């Protein structure tokens, strides 16, 4: 599946099952909430916190997908083609960081 196809699927789902998009501000708040849920699992899986009763590291992929879903909603609402934006980001990082990380002693094994 391409990013474009995923954006189209989200849009179709919203228009047929979800009735309509939430407002951009509401979706931004939901995105923040979803990132927090992802952060909680990351902190408990890879950090120093332990899981509470009923919490599970098995939810990691689902939380990542929830973040992606809401991000695609926001992109659709604001007219952002995430494929084009992501390609520009890869180029920007490639140009900017071509030698930056290779020379970082913190990243040497």
Which of 13, 76, 66 minimizes the C-alpha distance to 36? 66
Residue 55 has pLDDT above 90, yes or no: no
> What is the average pLDDT score of the chain?
95
**What's the domain range around 72?**
3-81
Task: Average the pLDDT over 55-64 and give the result.
Answer: 92
pLDDT tens, position by position, 30-51:
999 999 999 999 999 999 999 9
Please give the tally of structural domains in the chain.
1
Report, in this order, helix, strand and coil percent for the chain, each rounded to 5.
70, 0, 30
Q: Does any domain span residue 103?
A: no
Pair 76, 9: CB distance under 8 Å: no
Task: Average the pLDDT over 48-55 and give the result.
Answer: 89
Domain CATH number, residue 15: 1.10.287.1080
Q: Does any domain span residue 92?
A: no
Q: Does any domain span residue 61?
A: yes
């Amino acid at each position: 599946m391409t990013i474009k196809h995923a954006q189209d699927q989200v849009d179709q789902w919203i228009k047929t099952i979800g009735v309509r998009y939430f407002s951009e501000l509401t979706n931004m708040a939901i995105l923040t909430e979803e990132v927090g849920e992802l952060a909680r699992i990351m902190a408990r899986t890879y950090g120093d916190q332990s899981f509470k009763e009923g919490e599970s590291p098995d939810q990691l992929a689902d939380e990542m997908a929830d973040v992606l879903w809401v991000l695609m909603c926001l992109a659709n609402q604001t007219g952002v083609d995430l494929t084009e934006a992501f390609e520009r980001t890869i180029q920007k990082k490639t140009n900017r960081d071509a030698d930056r990380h290779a020379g970082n002693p913190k990243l040497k094994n």
